């Protein structure tokens, strides 16, 4: 049984086809990267998976349950956690409260008290290295700190599948390497499946994922092992075309 299965997902905004007939399967414990230039439709695909947008066509299955039309708030308790490309902290709340909210309403929703959630929050805050910011408001954090805070918040949800939207954007190479190691450890220790989405940090993709899906103009271009995907002529063309346009 696939953990997540997308069947022919199409999402349009007016005349624009943001996601074009994309199918994808993620197995339990798998870590895959979705890459593609800016505007390829990666974030939109995440929004369809997490229930922010409903697709015009296609179906979303989570553990074989059809969740295509399920409201977003009912997906988190099933085991879907995510971070946002542009971080969305609950600004006035402290880092600790932000992360605790993840624990309170994620897969543990019915099982943990507020105090237990705060303890879980402390654990993940330490794990991402934000202990010095624990009691600070999340609003004024730096963009990288906000990303880490969101990762901690998503992890506190104890998801089965973690969706990370550009988790490494804005990081320097050393931080990227650390993040890659961190994600690999997570996958092992927490038995979590991860979809990491990156625009063009190939350094991250190579170290991180065994499997890569490349998107271009809303459509799936390639879905293959990392080495295969990154040497595929179609992919090279997309990226060369992209860097010329930069």
Q: Where along the sequence are the contacts to ligand ADP (CB under 6 A)?
A: 13, 16, 18, 36, 38-44
Residue 124 partner contact from ligand ADP, another protein, Mg ion, none using kind-dependent CB cut-offs of 5 to 8 Å: none
Cβ proximity to Mg ion: between 99 and 214 the closer is: 214
The residue among 38 and 227 lying less far from ligand ADP, judged by its C-beta, is 38
Q: How far is the CB of 96 from Mg ion (least distance, A)?
A: 28
178-213 in b/e form (b: 16+ CB < 10 A) is ebbebbeebbeeeebbbbbbbbbbeebbeebbebbb
Report the C-alpha gap between 161 and 106 in whole angstroms.
Answer: 12
In the complex, least distance from residue 235 CB atom to Mg ion, rounded to whole angstroms: 18
User: In angstroms, what is the minimal distance from the CB of 229 to another protein?
Assistant: 28
Closer to Mg ion by Cβ: residue 97 or 166: 166
In this structure, how many other beta carbons lie within 10 angstroms of the beta carbon of residue 54?
A: 14
Interface residue list for Mg ion (CB under 5 A):
42-43, 85
In the complex with ligand ADP, the residue whose CB is nearer, 13 or 237, is 13
Cα-Cα-Cα-Cα dihedral sign, residues 2, 26, 81, 23: negative
The three-state DSSP-derived secondary structure of 69-93 is CCCHHHHHHHCEEECCCCCCCCCCC
CB of 169 to ligand ADP, least distance (A): 11
């Amino acid at each position: 049984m696939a953990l997540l299965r997308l069947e022919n997902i199409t999402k349009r905004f007016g005349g624009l086809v943001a996601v074009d007939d994309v199918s994808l399967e993620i197995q339990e414990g798998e870590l895959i990267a979705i890459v593609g230039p800016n505007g390829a439709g990666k974030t939109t695909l995440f929004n369809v998976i997490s229930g922010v947008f409903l697709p015009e066509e296609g179906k979303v299955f989570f553990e074989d349950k059809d969740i295509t039309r399920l409201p977003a708030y009912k997906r988190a308790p099933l085991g879907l956690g995510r971070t946002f490309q542009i971080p969305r902290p609950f600004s006035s709340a402290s880092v600790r409260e932000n992360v605790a909210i993840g624990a309170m309403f994620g897969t543990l929703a019915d099982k943990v008290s507020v105090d237990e959630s705060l303890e879980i929050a402390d654990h993940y805050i330490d794990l991402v290295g934000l202990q010095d910011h624990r009691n600070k408001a999340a609003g004024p954090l730096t963009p990288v700190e906000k990303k880490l805070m969101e990762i901690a918040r998503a992890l506190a949800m104890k998801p089965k599948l973690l969706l990370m939207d550009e988790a490494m954007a804005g990081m320097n190479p050393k931080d990227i390497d650390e993040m890659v190691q961190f994600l690999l450890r997570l996958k092992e220790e927490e038995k979590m499946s991860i979809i990491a989405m990156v625009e063009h940090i190939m350094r991250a993709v190579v170290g991180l994922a065994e499997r890569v899906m490349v998107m271009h103009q809303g459509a799936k271009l390639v879905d293959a092992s990392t080495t295969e995907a990154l040497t595929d002529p179609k992919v090279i063309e997309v990226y060369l075309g992209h860097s010329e346009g930069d």
